[in-house]
Amino acid sequence: ALSFGFYSATCPAAELIVKNAVRSASSEDPTVPGKLLRLMFHDCFVEGCDASILLQGNETERTDPANKSVGGFEAIDSAKRTLEFFCPGIVSCADVVVLAARDAVEFAGGPSVEVPTGRRDGRISAATNVRPNIVDTSFSVDQMMSLFSSKGLSADDLVILSGAHTMGTAHCSAFSDRFRKGPNGQMTLIDASLDVTYANELMQRCFAGAASTVVVDNDPATANVFDNQYYKNILSHKGLFQSDSVLISDGRTRAHVERFAKDQIGFFENWGQSFLKLSSVGVKSGDEGEIRLSCSTNNV
Ligand code: HEM
Ligand SMILES: [Ca+2]
Ligand SMILES: [Ca+2]
């Protein structure tokens, strides 16, 4: 089982070392916090929060198209390097991923959440595990709820954790299903649930010849701030992904969206609880797994 301050005797500076690494990476590059938060989500949903997403090699999770735009690896590696210097072989990469996401939210102005530690690193990372476990933007509320429920997360958790889209960016391909491309490349809006002015801005950024590296802010209003703006956006039909917009068309989720749009403190409190649940999905502890020496490879 996990516990608060798991490293207090073996590596008392562990959490501080991660926080410093996140702070310095994020102040150099404001896209880092969003990347770290998504990295954790994609780790925890596949094989549990076990750093399986960090393993490199043929056919690992990282090679799956759904993980193509996942980032934040350098910040994790930098934290791990310092940890290995001060407390070699003690702190798991799985804990670093969770702590870094926690710190990223705090760095961006969100709530600070106390998280238990003691996760062990997994030895399995298979690209084929990614698709069945990661939500696609085309999912209905039902489909999202059933995937979340298979991880022990409720409909409330779905709405609350989706609030993560209050920061970070997305590639044009992530929402191009809301538009149709004409024969000469011009785009038309086909998704009537999207605000027309907002849709026009998106089309301008993601014009037909736009580079595949072009990104759009998930939250057009407060892009780098962790706040409750996400819920206001979807209520005003400015949810970037179809999977964001559908949260207001379903009675089971809409009430929460309305509440959090008006109540940032309530959102922050609930975020803490849902984040804790996410951070304990499928964790390995005790003598399961291992403590990797390098986050990108299993120990030999
Ligand atoms: C519920 C269904 C969800 C769907 C369908 C979804 C889908 C996506 C997609 C398509 C992107 C854009 C990736 C890109 O093109 O670069 C994205 C970005 C992001 N997602 Fe989600 N997501 C979901 C839930 C979550 C959750 C639960 C979290 C975290 C708790 C999260 C955190 C993020 C963050 C922070 C970004 C920005 C990443 C960056 O800036 O690089 N998402 N999401
Ligand atoms: Ca994992
Ligand atoms: Ca925001």
Please report the sign of the dihedral spanned by the C-alpha atoms of residue 67, residue 282, residue 108, residue 234. Answer: positive
| CB atoms inside a 10 Å sphere around CB 209 | 5
Tell whether 297 is covered by a domain: no
243 shares a domain with 155: yes
Please write the tens of the pLDDT for every residue from 150-197: 999 999 999 999 999 999 999 999 999 898 877 776 778 888 889 999
Residue 249 known to bind ligand: no
Tell whether 284 is covered by a domain: no
Q: Of residues 95 and 190, which shows the higher confidence score?
A: 95
122 shares a domain with 20: yes
Three-state DSSP state, 217:
strand
Burial class (CB within 10 angstroms; exposed 0-12, middle 13-18, buried 19+) of 201? middle
Residue 61 known to bind ligand: yes
Tell whether 5 is covered by a domain: no
Ligand index nearest the alpha carbon of residue 212: 1
- Is 255 a residue whose pLDDT tops 90? yes
Q: Which residue out of 32, 36, 41 has the highest number of ligand 1 atoms within 8 Å of its CB and is therefore the one to mutate?
A: 41
Tell whether 292 is covered by a domain: no
Query: How many domains would you assign to the chain?
Result: 2
Average pLDDT value over all residues in the chain: 96
Residue 181: the pLDDT is 77
Catalytic residues: 42
Residue 187: the pLDDT is 75
Q: Which residue out of 26, 73, 165, 177 has the highest number of ligand 1 atoms within 8 Å of its CB and is therefore the one to mutate?
A: 165
- Is 70 a residue whose pLDDT tops 80? yes
| Residue nearest atom 11 in ligand 1 by C-alpha distance | 170
pTM over 0.80: yes
The C-alpha atoms of residue 144 and residue 121 are separated, in whole angstroms, by 27
Buried b or exposed e, range 245-254, using 16+ CB within 10 angstroms:
bbbbebeebb
126 shares a domain with 30: yes
115 shares a domain with 165: no
The C-alpha atoms of residue 271 and residue 159 are separated, in whole angstroms, by 10
Reported as a pLDDT band with limits 50, 70 and 90, residue 289 is very high
- Is 54 a residue whose pLDDT tops 80? yes
- Is 58 a residue whose pLDDT tops 90? yes
- Is 43 a residue whose pLDDT tops 90? yes
- Is 210 a residue whose pLDDT tops 90? no
CATH of the domain at 22: 1.10.520.10
Please report the sign of the dihedral spanned by the C-alpha atoms of residue 189, residue 190, residue 195, residue 198. Answer: negative
Picking from 86, 109, 134, the residue at the C-terminal end of a domain is 134
Tell whether 8 is covered by a domain: no
Is the shortest distance between the CB of 161 and ligand 1 below 6 Å?
A: yes
Show the tokens assigned to 254: 């809409």
| Residue percentage of the chain with pLDDT more than 90 | 92
- Looking from the CA of 30 toward its CB, the CA atoms found within 13 Å total 10
Q: What is the average pLDDT across 33-45?
A: 98
203 shares a domain with 88: no
Distance 208 CA to ligand 2 centre (A): 35
Atom of ligand 1 nearest to the CA of 72: 41
The C-alpha atoms of residue 289 and residue 103 are separated, in whole angstroms, by 25
| Residue nearest atom 2 in ligand 1 by C-alpha distance | 135
Residue 147: the pLDDT is 98
Q: What is the average pLDDT across 276-296?
A: 98
| Residue nearest atom 32 in ligand 1 by C-alpha distance | 38
Reported as a pLDDT band with limits 50, 70 and 90, residue 29 is very high
127 shares a domain with 150: no
Q: What is the average pLDDT across 200-222?
A: 92
Picking from 134, 154, 182, the residue at the C-terminal end of a domain is 134
Tell whether 2 is covered by a domain: no
Is the shortest distance between the CB of 268 and ligand 1 below 6 Å?
A: no
| Residue nearest atom 1 in ligand 1 by C-alpha distance | 162
Picking from 86, 117, 134, the residue at the C-terminal end of a domain is 134
CATH of the domain at 185: 1.10.420.10
The C-alpha atoms of residue 133 and residue 114 are separated, in whole angstroms, by 26
Residue 48 known to bind ligand: yes
150 shares a domain with 91: no
45 shares a domain with 90: yes
- Which of 37-41, 172-176, 288-292 shows the lowest mean pLDDT across its residues? 172-176
Residue type, 130: V
Atom of ligand 1 nearest to the CA of 243: 5
145 shares a domain with 209: yes
| CB atoms inside a 10 Å sphere around CB 208 | 11
Please write the tens of the pLDDT for every residue from 99-124: 999 999 999 999 999 999 999 999 99
234 shares a domain with 210: yes
169 shares a domain with 107: no
Q: What is the average pLDDT across 20-29?
A: 98
Reported as a pLDDT band with limits 50, 70 and 90, residue 67 is very high
Residue 46 known to bind ligand: yes
Residues of the domain holding 173: 141-275
179 shares a domain with 75: no
Reported as a pLDDT band with limits 50, 70 and 90, residue 208 is confident
Q: What is the average pLDDT across 229-255?
A: 96
- Is 300 a residue whose pLDDT tops 80? yes
Tell whether 253 is covered by a domain: yes
Tell whether 296 is covered by a domain: no
